[in-house]
Amino acid sequence: MKKTKKIKIKINGKKKSIDNDSYLLKLINDLKIPIKKVAIEFNREIVDKKKIKKIKLRNNDVIEIVHFIGGG
């Protein structure tokens, strides 16, 4: 069986090893993040949620996922 190549990405400041050619949307769904309540930044660019399906992850990609919390 062919072993899937792994890549390293950074999500919210933490390094994570995932399969090469994974989709960003799958990663977010796997993490059980409610996509409607967050904003996503992909390599410093804001992700248009309508187009997120097309985004594939590559080595060294940097993802930030933010939401609202209590603040003054």
Chain residues in the site for another protein (CB under 8 A): 11-14, 31-34, 36-41, 46-47, 49, 64-72
| Nearer Cβ to another protein (23/64) | 64
Q: How far is the CB of 38 from another protein (least distance, A)?
A: 6
Choice between 5 and 68, CB closer to another protein: 68
Output 2 or 14, the one with its CB closest to another protein: 14
Distance CA 6, CA 16 (A): 10
CA gap 5, 19 in Å, rounded: 6
Nearest approach, Cβ of 37 to another protein (angstroms)?
A: 6
**Dihedral angle sign, alpha carbons of residues 41, 46, 52, 54:** negative
Contact yes or no for 62/44 (Cβ under 8 A): yes
